[in-house]
């Protein structure tokens, strides 16, 4: 059993309460997904559950964690800095149970995770692995330690379709407790049976959480139905109140007018009757005030992000060749390994293409090479969103400073308006980018693209750090972009809803693939 009692998390920077008096109990068989918009504290909660010390750098945490003999296994969202320079062998050797594994067991794990048999003994540095290979290595070491509770922060980031299916199987068949965060709606829909929803409502001034033992799709549908029902009841109550108040005002004004204009010669009984009537009317008013306290409240939910990517300036003529890229050999960045040969890609007009392939196939390396060519062109305006945002972001700058280095007041006011539409608070706009969540960093890059009038977007895993609640908006935004999109993704909903062509990167080049394989 994993239990959390009365946990309150407060952000040190702006003293915002991320989570207040949070209570939760998970038992064997529970597969709980934490959902919520970017920057709502999902990763902070998971860090605190694994090791409260991890969250203390930027948050005050008060509460109790009850583990009841559970062994925690934690997969962080990013590979820890301390592990980046280690070889794979050094990394696995740090597990107390690595040397207890027989060659047969290690071989079976390598087959299951689709890595070479000598993967565990490799001298390759962790930081040189592809994004998906890093996730696989971390998952395998985590499982070697024999955990009973899996704490997985974005385990679906950067892994290929076949590994996603393996991850689904792992979560689905896990006999104990799984608590995970993921942007991948398909993964969530196929595995989660508990939904933990963290929200920041009333313009991020109040925290709220919901824990429901149900599937994600049922939760979202019931939530929408309940919201609509409560909203309609609240509207009906307010309409009825308006009619009642108008009628009450007419009665009150009539009696008040009669009292004010009563003639001096009127009988005492008439005056008394009017005073009694006014007393009754005032009593009715007090009763109405009490009724109003119990009136159905307008439902509160987090404001949806509002964002448009590109305008008429971003339109790409249908007949224009955006890129015709040929490469005889694709090698690793250090040139030590041949990844693929005879690569050819032609993109025309406003096509939205997606490149898929196994982890380590060279997708990111290829995209970087194409990005370099496209960014140097004068006949198009290209923008690039790397898998690692820190390649482009100045972590010490604020979002406002990064998006505008002129200091012009009018431009900065406009940028703040756009950031507000992306649900940044005024404080978050002035935080260093280093303090932002992965999804918030991604929003900064997308906004930069929008402000640049780009007509070609080069996107490496564009949905990887967005919550499943933001995902539909992001997909719609990219799908409606009037220019061309060249992307890498393993997000099955992104592939289905955004992309017009899919190519698989194999050792023999790029091969057009059928949608049915991914959707």
Work out the average pLDDT over 148-159: 92
Q: Which residue(s) pair with 348 in the sheet? A: 321
pLDDT digits (tens, 9 = 90+) for 49-90: 999 999 888 899 999 999 989 999 999 988 999 999 999 999
Picking from 278, 246, 248, 283, the residue whose alpha carbon sits closest to that of residue 260 is 278
Tokens of 401: 């400073």
**Backbone torsion region of residue 490, taken as left when φ is above 0, otherwise alpha when ψ lies between -120 and 50, otherwise beta:** alpha
In angstroms, the CA 270 to CA 272 distance is: 5
- Domain 2-223 top-level CATH class: alpha beta
pLDDT above 60 (res 519): no
H helices within 392-454, ranges in order?
399-403, 409-421, 426-429, 438-451
pLDDT above 90 (res 175): yes
Residue 169 pLDDT: 93
Window from 217-221, 286-290, 327-331, 361-365 with minimum mean pLDDT: 286-290
Rg of the chain (C-alpha set): 29
pLDDT above 70 (res 512): yes
Arithmetic mean of pLDDT over the chain: 90
> What confidence category does residue 299 fall into, taking pLDDT thresholds of 50, 70 and 90?
low
Residue 292 pLDDT: 84
**Backbone torsion region of residue 335, taken as left when φ is above 0, otherwise alpha when ψ lies between -120 and 50, otherwise beta:** left
Residue 105: count other Cβ atoms within 10 Å of its Cβ: 11
> What confidence category does residue 324 fall into, taking pLDDT thresholds of 50, 70 and 90?
very high
Q: Please indicate, yes or no, whether the overall pTM of this predicted structure exceeds 0.85.
A: no
Contacts of 178 (CB under 8 A, 6+ apart): 30, 31, 32, 149, 150, 152, 171, 191
pLDDT digits (tens, 9 = 90+) for 115-146: 999 999 999 999 999 888 999 999 999 999 99
> What confidence category does residue 203 fall into, taking pLDDT thresholds of 50, 70 and 90?
low
Q: Of the CATH numbers 3.40.50.1970, 3.10.129.10, 3.30.2010.10, 3.40.50.300, which one belongs to the domain with range 312-517?
A: 3.40.50.300
Work out the average pLDDT over 151-162: 89
Got the DSSP string for 207-227? EEEEEESS-HHHHHHHHHHHH
In angstroms, the CA 76 to CA 141 distance is: 13
Residue 136 pLDDT: 92
In angstroms, the CA 389 to CA 395 distance is: 10
Q: Which residues of 223-258 are buried (b: 16+ CB within 10 A; e: fewer)?
A: beeeeeeeeeeeeebeeeeeeeeeeeeeebeebeee
Handedness of CA 473, 476, 478, 482 (dihedral sign): negative
pLDDT above 80 (res 267): no
pLDDT above 70 (res 304): no
> What confidence category does residue 265 fall into, taking pLDDT thresholds of 50, 70 and 90?
low
């Amino acid at each position: 059993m994993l239990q959390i009692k009365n946990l309150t998390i407060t952000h040190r920077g702006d003293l915002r309460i991320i989570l207040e008096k949070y209570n939760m109990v998970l038992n064997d068989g529970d597969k709980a997904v934490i959902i919520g918009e970017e920057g709502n504290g999902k990763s902070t909660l998971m860090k605190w559950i694994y090791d409260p010390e991890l969250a203390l750098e930027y948050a005050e945490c008060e509460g109790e964690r009850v583990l009841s003999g559970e062994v925690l296994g934690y997969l962080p969202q990013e590979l820890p800095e301390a592990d980046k320079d280690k070889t794979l062998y050094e990394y696995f050797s740090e597990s107390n149970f690595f040397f207890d594994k027989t060659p047969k067991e290690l071989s079976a794990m390598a087959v299951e995770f689709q890595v070479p048999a000598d993967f565990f003994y490799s001298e390759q540095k962790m930081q040189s692995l592809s994004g998906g290979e890093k996730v696989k290595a971390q998952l395998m070491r985590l499982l070697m330690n024999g955990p009973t509770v899996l704490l997985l922060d974005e385990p679906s980031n950067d892994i290929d379709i076949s590994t996603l299916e393996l991850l689904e199987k792992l979560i689905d068949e896990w006999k104990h407790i799984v608590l995970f965060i993921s942007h991948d709606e398909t993964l969530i829909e196929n595995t989660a049976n508990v939904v933990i929803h963290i929200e920041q409502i009333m313009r991020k001034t109040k925290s709220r959480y919901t824990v429901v033992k149900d599937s994600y799709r049922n939760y979202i549908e019931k939530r929408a139905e309940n919201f609509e029902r409560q909203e309609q009841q609240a509207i009906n109550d307010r309409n009825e109140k308006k009619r009642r108040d108008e009628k009450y005002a007419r009665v009150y004004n009539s009696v008040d007018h009669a009292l004010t204009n009563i003639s001096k010669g009127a009988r005492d009984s008439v005056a008394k009757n009017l005073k009694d009537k006014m007393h009754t009317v005032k009593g009715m008013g007090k009763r109405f005030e009490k009724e109003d306290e119990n009136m159905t409240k307008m439902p509160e939910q987090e404001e949806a992000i509002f964002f448009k990517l590109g305008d008429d300036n971003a339109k790409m003529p249908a007949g224009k060749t955006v890129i015709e890229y040929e490469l005889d050999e694709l090698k690793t960045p250090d040139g030590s390994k041949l990844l693929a040969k005879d690569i050819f890609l032609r993109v025309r007009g406003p096509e939205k293409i997606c490149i898929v392939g196994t982890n380590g196939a060279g997708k990111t390396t290829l995209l970087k090479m194409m990005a370099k060519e496209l960014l140097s062109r004068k006949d198009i305006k290209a923008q690039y969103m790397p898998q690692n945002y820190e390649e482009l972001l100045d972590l010490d700058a604020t979002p406002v400073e990064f998006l505008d280095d002129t200091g012009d007041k009018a431009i900065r006011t406009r940028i703040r308006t756009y950031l507000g539409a992306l649900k940044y608070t005024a404080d978050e706009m002035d935080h260093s980018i280093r303090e932002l969540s992965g999804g918030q960093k991604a929003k900064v890059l997308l906004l930069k693209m929008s402000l640049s009038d780009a007509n070609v977007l080069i996107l490496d895993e564009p949905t990887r750090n967005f919550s499943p609640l933001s995902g539909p908006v992001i997909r719609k935004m990219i799908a409606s972009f009037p220019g061309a999109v060249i992307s890498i993704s393993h997000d099955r909903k992104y592939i289905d809803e955004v992309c017009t062509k899919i190519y698989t990167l194999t050792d023999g080049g790029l091969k057009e693939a059928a949608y049915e394989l991914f959707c």
